[in-house]
Amino acid sequence: CKPLGETFLFQLLGLSIATLSTVTHYGLRFTLISNVSLDSNSYKVIHHRAFYFGICLSMTLILAALLSSAATVRESQCLTAMGFFCFTLAFCGLIPAACWRYTHSTEVEDSMMDVYDFVYEEVRRNTSSFRRHELTAIHEAFLCCGKHSPFGDTTSVEHKTCPPGQVHDEGQDCLREIQDFLKKHMDFVFSLLG
């Protein structure tokens, strides 16, 4: 009964990773930034790779748990070996992911903030309604309003793109909100993978 309980936990872990990968890929904030980002920005590539890595990892864990359950019930050495091989694949996939996280710890954050900076400066420089619509959508999704800019007055941009009733203050700086949101999300992802 104990091995079946452990395999249930691995199935639950696999389903949790699949759910988290799906939320990360199709979540409003991530999708919005991905749709706005330019091809030269690395965010789209990271966004898609993270989704496919998460789905592959979750399916490998679920398959390993199912094979281990079947091996326990049928007392099959072949199924045990296949289950062990799947667990090994999952573990080998997590090692490069952990290394990437430590060697590229700020790449995702930087690329998201670069997208926001680009859209914000495009709206500040001209009156493109397309970019203004994108900036308004970002402000509504992240519940923030503008940024502190070293380039001068930004209040005209914020009046045009911030949700009604929001007053720009230091607590609503979008760069800070994006950074805080992503930090919380990444902490949750890596605690789950840990």
- Residue 52: per-residue pLDDT: 92
Q: Which domain holds residue 66?
A: 3-193
- Residue 9: per-residue pLDDT: 76
Tokens 């965010």, residue? Answer: 43
- Residue 46: per-residue pLDDT: 87
- List the chain pLDDT tens, one digit each, 194 residues: 445 566 777 788 888 888 888 988 898 999 999 888 888 888 888 889 889 998 998 899 888 888 888 888 888 888 888 888 888 888 888 888 878 877 877 888 889 999 998 888 888 888 667 888 888 889 888 888 887 766 555 566 677 777 766 655 544 688 888 989 988 888 877 777 76
* CA separation, residue 81 to residues 5, 12, 76 (Å): 19, 21, 9
- Residue 20: per-residue pLDDT: 87
Half-sphere exposure of 38 (CA within 13 A, CB side): 11
Task: Please give the radius of gyration of the chain, using alpha carbons only, rounded to the nearest integer.
Answer: 22
Q: How many domains does the chain have?
A: 1
What's this model's pTM, rounded to 2 decimal places? Answer: 0.78
* CA separation, residue 106 to residues 7, 79, 100, 102, 114 (Å): 35, 41, 11, 9, 12
